[in-house]
Structure 1
Amino acid sequence: MIDIDPALQGAMETFFEESRDLLQEMEQILLGVETHGLEAEQLNALFRAAHTIKGSAGLFGLDPLVRFTHRLENLLDRIRAGQQAFAAEQMVPLLLACADHLGAYLAMLQGAEPFQPDFLAEDVRLLEALEAVQQPQPEGSRLPAPVSNRPASPVVQPADTPAPADQPQASQPASWHISLRFGVDTFRDGMDPLSFLQYLRQMGEILGLVTLTDQLPKFAELDPESCYLGFEIAFASTASKAELAAVFDFVKDSCTLHILPSHDRLPEYLRMIESLPEADHKLGEILVAVGSLTPEELQQALGQQREEEDRSGQHHPLGEILVASQMVQEPLVQGALAKQQQQRAQRQMLRIHAEELDQLVDLVGELVIASAGNRLRAQEEERELRVEAAVQVARLVEEIRDRALHLRMIEVNEIYQRFPRVVRDTAKQLGKDIRLEIRGEQTELDKSMAEKIVDPLMHLVRNAMDHGIEPAATRQATGKDPQGRILLQARHDASGILIEVQDDGAGLQRDKILRKAIEKGLVQEDQKLSDAEVFALIFAPGFSTAEKISDISGRGVGMDVVKQNIESIRGSIDIESQPGQGTTIRIRLPLTLSIIDGFVVRIGKGLFVIPSDAVEECLEYPQVEAAGYLQLRGQPLPLLDLAAMFQVEQDAGSRRNVIVVGQGSERIGVLVGAILGNQQTVIKPLGRLFESLPGISAATILGNGELAPILDIAHLLQHHTRPSRTAQPTSSS
């Protein structure tokens, strides 16, 4: 749809990505405004986001996006200037809709998709809404700006940038200080100093003028054809510095001219510097961009710097030269230097394509396998130096593995940041008052895992709002806070990441769930089930207790998919609920999907891997006939014989061991043969033919080239064999 120079394609992709980040920032600010009000700094951040998107879109010729964003920018600028009231109940929905529309613009422009009629209709509707909401204020009136105890830093358009036709002009002209000394040959060159002052009056107003006569010689030495005049001028004008300098083009080579913004304008220029888009700008480029330095002045200062370099091999910093030459005031140089440092700090963050990062992790995985094989062969040769070198390589590979995996880690906040908007919109749709609380935003998890957990979490949150949280009147009648509460929190658990979705609603109705399950033939009427087993029935395909079907939930689809999606990334889900108090859904996820530390054990003649993060301790198994419960520190520990489960022939009389594994509050002991030690394990997914094997989540290739299944601890805990409770426990200390 838009022709782009291939050389700019990479830059445009960065623009799309950064623009989406800015829209996300706008959304978060607007959602907070409804609760906490609008502060000046937040308003400035909204304006900066719109201004940056508009400016960057203009560089790529994305005119439709520029046009829409400019209208949005106008509204925000009027609010900042006190010319427009900010009514949250009216403005927040409109600004959120505009942010959504900008997101749709970005998606279609990036995908080179044509604008559809419904999109164009929404475009017209929002433009009309932006126009309608900008009601003119009575002459001379000015609304109070939002109050904040932090210094405001509004974005000001550079003086040398022409304002768009529909953008209001500044109510007060800009003020300049012009220091001018004409050259001694000005008269001889046919120039009249007075004519320059008269022309200057056409561009603004001379507020004050002081004639400098300090260069005048004694009367006897005065040459009537020489010019000794100079002027200090206080000038009010909307013209830029470059436009003012152009007035004196005919005498620029013979006069000394300094044009500086008045001291009252310094804060304005500092804010302009702060609002510049992030880019790799040099000091002089920053000052030229905001109009406090002309390109000619920059070249003059750089020339002076080069001359110093040629003359002495050293030179003064550019900022010092600019200040000493009275081209720019020192505060502006300091502001530009601070902006430069900020840009350098941000350039240290690199954007990497996810596919390239995945390829790196895959290669590290192969390196782990090769390192394990190298170490194994070194041990077989029993050569001390070779073993020592192999151990050193293995240690470095482990460090590379950890760092490579950390590159793919993101904070949970990147997932959570989209939920405030969902809760807000869904609550309004349901007519309920619900607040969202978020904790543990800094908890990290694998990016590939994060992408697969978003939809399940979204479904759980919407279900909690629809089924869990009661209407305000119902809550008040039962003594609850009329405002419902949903808590999203994440933290590191012993074996991975624990994510909880908690609500303070009515809780799950055990009897209703059980009755519906009996009707659907999922359980027998006389079957005895624990609360956890009953609640787990809601994950059955097509299961729903909703009496009414809504757009949000109640069709019996989704909860089974939630469970499937979570289990597909080796996670588990369980439910805890109390009638009248609410429901908590816990999702446990592994730390990574690619490489883990694993216990290699022998079962019969085969090798298996147990994830190390699930292992709590290892014990020697007493040689007794019956398998049942192991008495561990006064507590019965259920035992699971893996040889029996996988139908693997165990050598008679061979030594056996117990590995205690756990997840959350559940734990069992698994019976294995020899324990061969801990090693890095690269996870290889099973093919479709084997992906439903009970108790097996994946496979790995060991250092000796042998294939070893990886045990699914969550499945073993959920479906482990429980012998009769009358069996005599085996004693162990």
Structure 2
Amino acid sequence: MDMARDALVQEARELLAAMEQALMQIEAEGQDAEAINAVFRAAHTIKGSAGLFAFERIVSFTHIVESVLDRVRNGSQPLDANLLTLLLECSDYIAMLVDAIAARQEEQEPDAERRARLEAALTALLGVVTATPPPPATVAQPQGEPQGKVEVESGESVSSDNWHISLRFSPDVLRSGMDPLSFLRYLGTLGHIVHIVTLPDALPAAAEFDAETCYLGFEIDFASPVDRQTIEGVFEFVRDDSDIRILPPHSKVAEYISLIDGLPEPSGRLGEILVKGGALTESELTRVLAQQAAEPVPAKPLGALLVENDVVPQAVVAAALTKQKQGEEKRAQEQKFIKVEVSKLDALIDLVGELVIAGAGANVVARRQKDVQFEEATQALSSLVEQIRDAALTLRMVPIGEVFQRFPRVVRDISRELGKEIQLVVTGADTELDKSMVEKLSDPLMHIVRNAMDHGIEPTEARTAIGKPAAGTLRLNAFHESGCIVIEVSDDGRGLDRERILRKAIERGLVQPDQQLSDSDVFRLIFEPGFSTAETVTNLSGRGVGMDVVRKNIEALRGEVEVLSRPAQGTTVRIRLPLTLAIIDGFQVMTGEAVFVIPLDLVIECVDVSSHDTRHNILKLRGEPLPFVRLRELFELPEAGEVRESLVVVQYGQQRAGLVVDRLVGEFQAVIKPLGVLFSDMKGISGSTILGDGRVALILDVPHLIQRTARAQAAQSWPRQASALSDR
């Protein structure tokens, strides 16, 4: 049950995300039948799943939502801006109910006041009689009207006011984790089961009985005002493999003939059941059996029979067949995917990491043994390990669209709260990165987006006064660059006020009045704890919290965040992150006896230092100045004798720098290990790895080193003490 409950929660959250996305699409692009159907299907499926577990709070509320959506679908209820807002609020409340189920607190009401307000608004809509009533029922509508009425043709239809349902569950329904009785209990919540008969005809002899096989069938007479689609929805999870036949009130005699002919039990016995349950009278049964004997129903498809008997038009049958084919194609597509717990993927990645380390150790032993066959075998093994590593890491790569998809709703709600017109443009949503990062990016991006909307984009009147479009534009973009993923949040607002930021920083003692800072350094001050330039405190900002959280979270992911801004043109906050936090291709170098690893994707080239002028820690490479740092000086390693130094040119984003080392070792698969709490604040080092011979190598934080060399170039100096590793 716990596994089934978790599956329900996960599915419900996915459906709510799809529901919200469809509602936002309707608001942006106008009403679309498919989008409206997507919203209805999401609510309907959530209700059906919750009904299987008797989660009555979510069933009863979602049923009201579904009823309103049904009116929207048939055109009797306009979907205006107010109803869109109401449906989005309903989606939020259903999410609260789902969270309560996940927390094993489904018996507790998460927000009684909110529920009462939403139910009152929904019920008011259901009580409104629209100016254009829905078209009258005709014989071509056997699927049931909202009140369960079907036109009666004299001499052709039966007199029963009840639905009749024949159920023959799949023999494997129990093996699939389904309880047939749960479907009957849920059906009872939609109306009154007038009469039910259990059919044990398929039961085998005791010696052949299988406790995991379902042998029972059911004949049900059901009184309810719901329509056919709602009843069909009760059995949505088993209808593909089960035989489910539903006859609406006042069905034609021909339909009962088809029902009796299609069921495995004897006609006489079925007739008795139909009469006892009130589906047929004795005279109607006599007429049914007489017509059945006189005019046997030909062995034609059900759709053809329905058309011949004027039950439904040909267009309806064609549409149903098309939908069925699409459903089969969708199921075939779904079979290509399988859901796996994240913890299992994490365990796989850990094992692959240990395999990489063990493979490196085997390579070291092979080189020492100087056995050609052994070396060839270890090289083949290394190649396979590399392929396994790449395949395993790919399993955790997901589109960043999982994060981006929540922001259309956020932008909509906040822009209304602020009274601003803001358009959201999303690009690069299919850019992939590690699943573990996706989960940790949500909060930082939320802070950045809220700040851009509150501080960055001007009010409508201010924009039009300076000739800007009335609606501001907020852009979310993601792309790959230099072995990293770059995420940008841009706005076309007023831009950052450099002088105001600097003045606030001086007031707080963050910088000295005579200190010379570049624009980049000034803009980085907004990430200081408690720093804010807002004159007033609002619900969104002004308390000096948020942006410092952004920097801490991004740095915890071994990433960097920078701000680009131009007055009156806008601001871009750019986040750079490694593609994965687990295993990387590294370039191994040595300074003295210390081993360092540089992420291979950031290495551009290697240069012999001896042939270049290296005064002032700047090297002229192909006519361009290149700042560099000696790792020996940076980490205060002991001086060595005469060594032939090499320079490794690295690039992060658009910036380049050089790292001077004693020896180039070569490419290396590095399994990233954390440094621990003691070294968590150390700058210039992003982690460690274990070499094949058991030694520990430090992984260089290239983005930080490049920034430090850039600052040193501007100041024409570079600190030579160990304190250079800490921010000033």
Q: Taking structure 1 as reference, are residues 359 and 138 closer, same or farther at Cα in structure 2, changes over 3 Å only?
A: closer
1:112 counterpart residue number: 104
2:686 counterpart residue number: 697
Which residues in structure 2 correspond to 1:33-72 (within 5 Å)? 33-72=26-65
2:70 counterpart residue number: 77
Residue by residue over 1:581-613, the C-alpha shift from the partner in whole angstroms, topping out at 9 and shown as x without a partner, is 000111000010000000111111111101111
Q: Determine helix, strand or coil for the equivalent of 1:622.
A: helix
User: What is the identity, as a one-letter code, of the residue corresponding to 2:690?
Assistant: I
Cα separation, 2, equivalents of 1:300 and 1:528: 93
Q: Determine helix, strand or coil for the equivalent of 1:128.
A: helix
1:512 aligns with 2:500: yes
Among 159, 162, 179, the residue aligned to 1:202 = 159
Q: Determine helix, strand or coil for the equivalent of 1:134.
A: helix
Among 68, 93, 103, the residue aligned to 1:101 = 93
1:667 counterpart residue number: 656
2:631 counterpart residue number: 642
2:712 counterpart residue number: 722
1:326 aligns with 2:326: no
- State the Cα distance separating 1:555 from its structure 2 match: 0.7
2:389 counterpart residue number: 401
User: What is the identity, as a one-letter code, of the residue corresponding to 1:297?
Assistant: G
Cα separation, 1, equivalents of 2:564 and 2:243: 58
Q: Taking structure 1 as reference, are residues 686 and 290 closer, same or farther at Cα in structure 2, changes over 3 Å only?
A: farther
How many pairs align?
Answer: 606
Q: Determine helix, strand or coil for the equivalent of 1:410.
A: strand
2:698 counterpart residue number: 709
Asked if the contact 1:19/1:53 (under 8 Å) is kept, the reply is yes
Residue by residue over 1:220-258, the C-alpha shift from the partner in whole angstroms, topping out at 9 and shown as x without a partner, is xxxxxxxxxxxxxxxxx9656789xx9xxxxxxxxxxxx
Q: Taking structure 1 as reference, are residues 114 and 21 closer, same or farther at Cα in structure 2, changes over 3 Å only?
A: closer
- State the Cα distance separating 1:449 from its structure 2 match: 0.9
Which residues in structure 2 correspond to 1:234-245 (within 5 Å)? none
- State the Cα distance separating 1:326 from its structure 2 match: 3.2
1:25 counterpart residue number: 18
Among 236, 242, 262, the residue aligned to 1:297 = 262
Structure 2 unmatched ranges of 5 or more? 169-194, 196-226, 249-254, 267-296, 305-316, 718-728
After superposing the two structures, state which structure 1 stretch, 571-580 or 30-39, moved more: 30-39
2:640 counterpart residue number: 651
Among 668, 681, 686, the residue aligned to 2:675 = 686
Residue by residue over 1:638-672, the C-alpha shift from the partner in whole angstroms, topping out at 9 and shown as x without a partner, is 11101110011242111211000111111111001
- State the Cα distance separating 1:422 from its structure 2 match: 0.9
Asked if the contact 1:513/1:535 (under 8 Å) is kept, the reply is yes
Q: Taking structure 1 as reference, are residues 20 and 298 closer, same or farther at Cα in structure 2, changes over 3 Å only?
A: farther
Cα separation, 2, equivalents of 1:699 and 1:174: 80
User: What is the identity, as a one-letter code, of the residue corresponding to 2:300?
Assistant: Q
Cα separation, 1, equivalents of 2:234 and 2:380: 49
Residue by residue over 1:32-82, the C-alpha shift from the partner in whole angstroms, topping out at 9 and shown as x without a partner, is 222321111111111111111111111111111110010111111112222
2:340 counterpart residue number: 352
1:142 aligns with 2:134: yes
Q: Taking structure 1 as reference, are residues 112 and 574 closer, same or farther at Cα in structure 2, changes over 3 Å only?
A: same
Asked if the contact 1:158/1:272 (under 8 Å) is kept, the reply is no
1:582 aligns with 2:567: no
1:618 aligns with 2:592: no
Asked if the contact 1:696/1:711 (under 8 Å) is kept, the reply is yes
Asked if the contact 1:84/1:137 (under 8 Å) is kept, the reply is no
Cα separation, 1, equivalents of 2:452 and 2:29: 25
Asked if the contact 1:157/1:272 (under 8 Å) is kept, the reply is no
Question: Please, what TM-score do these two structures have when normalized by structure 1?
Answer: 0.76
1:608 aligns with 2:596: yes
Q: Determine helix, strand or coil for the equivalent of 1:699.
A: strand
Which residues in structure 2 correspond to 1:445-460 (within 5 Å)? 445-460=433-448
1:91 aligns with 2:87: no
Cα separation, 1, equivalents of 2:417 and 2:590: 57
- State the Cα distance separating 1:138 from its structure 2 match: 5.8
User: What is the identity, as a one-letter code, of the residue corresponding to 1:708?
Assistant: A
Asked if the contact 1:83/1:143 (under 8 Å) is kept, the reply is no
User: What is the identity, as a one-letter code, of the residue corresponding to 1:722?
Assistant: A
Asked if the contact 2:76/2:132 (under 8 Å) is kept, the reply is no
Q: Determine helix, strand or coil for the equivalent of 1:524.
A: coil
- State the Cα distance separating 1:561 from its structure 2 match: 1.4
User: What is the identity, as a one-letter code, of the residue corresponding to 2:299?
Assistant: S
Asked if the contact 1:574/1:586 (under 8 Å) is kept, the reply is yes
- State the Cα distance separating 1:142 from its structure 2 match: 3.4
Asked if the contact 2:141/2:150 (under 8 Å) is kept, the reply is no
Q: Taking structure 1 as reference, are residues 647 and 100 closer, same or farther at Cα in structure 2, changes over 3 Å only?
A: same
1:132 counterpart residue number: 124
Q: Taking structure 1 as reference, are residues 174 and 34 closer, same or farther at Cα in structure 2, changes over 3 Å only?
A: farther
- State the Cα distance separating 1:325 from its structure 2 match: 3.3
Q: Taking structure 1 as reference, are residues 558 and 241 closer, same or farther at Cα in structure 2, changes over 3 Å only?
A: closer
Q: Taking structure 1 as reference, are residues 717 and 278 closer, same or farther at Cα in structure 2, changes over 3 Å only?
A: farther
Asked if the contact 1:516/1:545 (under 8 Å) is kept, the reply is yes
Q: Note the aligned Cα RMSD (angstroms).
A: 3.5
Cα separation, 1, equivalents of 2:160 and 2:423: 56
2:191 counterpart residue number: none
- State the Cα distance separating 1:100 from its structure 2 match: 0.5
1:498 aligns with 2:472: no
Asked if the contact 1:505/1:581 (under 8 Å) is kept, the reply is yes
- State the Cα distance separating 1:333 from its structure 2 match: 7.3
Cα separation, 2, equivalents of 1:461 and 1:591: 22
- State the Cα distance separating 1:120 from its structure 2 match: 1.4
User: What is the identity, as a one-letter code, of the residue corresponding to 2:517?
Assistant: L
1:14 aligns with 2:7: yes
- State the Cα distance separating 1:524 from its structure 2 match: 1.2
1:372 aligns with 2:360: yes
Asked if the contact 1:84/1:143 (under 8 Å) is kept, the reply is no
Q: Determine helix, strand or coil for the equivalent of 2:493.
A: coil
User: What is the identity, as a one-letter code, of the residue corresponding to 2:112?
Assistant: L
Question: Please, what TM-score do these two structures have when normalized by structure 2?
Answer: 0.77
Q: Taking structure 1 as reference, are residues 13 and 286 closer, same or farther at Cα in structure 2, changes over 3 Å only?
A: farther
Asked if the contact 1:546/1:554 (under 8 Å) is kept, the reply is yes
Structure 1 unmatched ranges of 5 or more? 1-7, 145-155, 176-196, 205-236, 247-267, 302-322, 728-733
Cα separation, 2, equivalents of 1:724 and 1:125: 61
Q: Taking structure 1 as reference, are residues 673 and 242 closer, same or farther at Cα in structure 2, changes over 3 Å only?
A: closer
Cα separation, 1, equivalents of 2:166 and 2:389: 56
Q: Taking structure 1 as reference, are residues 676 and 374 closer, same or farther at Cα in structure 2, changes over 3 Å only?
A: same
Asked if the contact 1:700/1:710 (under 8 Å) is kept, the reply is yes
Q: Determine helix, strand or coil for the equivalent of 1:201.
A: coil
2:510 counterpart residue number: 522
Cα separation, 2, equivalents of 1:656 and 1:274: 77
Cα separation, 2, equivalents of 1:345 and 1:299: 33
Q: Determine helix, strand or coil for the equivalent of 2:413.
A: helix
Cα separation, 1, equivalents of 2:121 and 2:656: 60
1:313 counterpart residue number: none
Residue by residue over 1:675-697, the C-alpha shift from the partner in whole angstroms, topping out at 9 and shown as x without a partner, is 11101100001111011222111
Cα separation, 1, equivalents of 2:261 and 2:596: 74
Q: Taking structure 1 as reference, are residues 594 and 298 closer, same or farther at Cα in structure 2, changes over 3 Å only?
A: farther
Q: Determine helix, strand or coil for the equivalent of 1:82.
A: coil
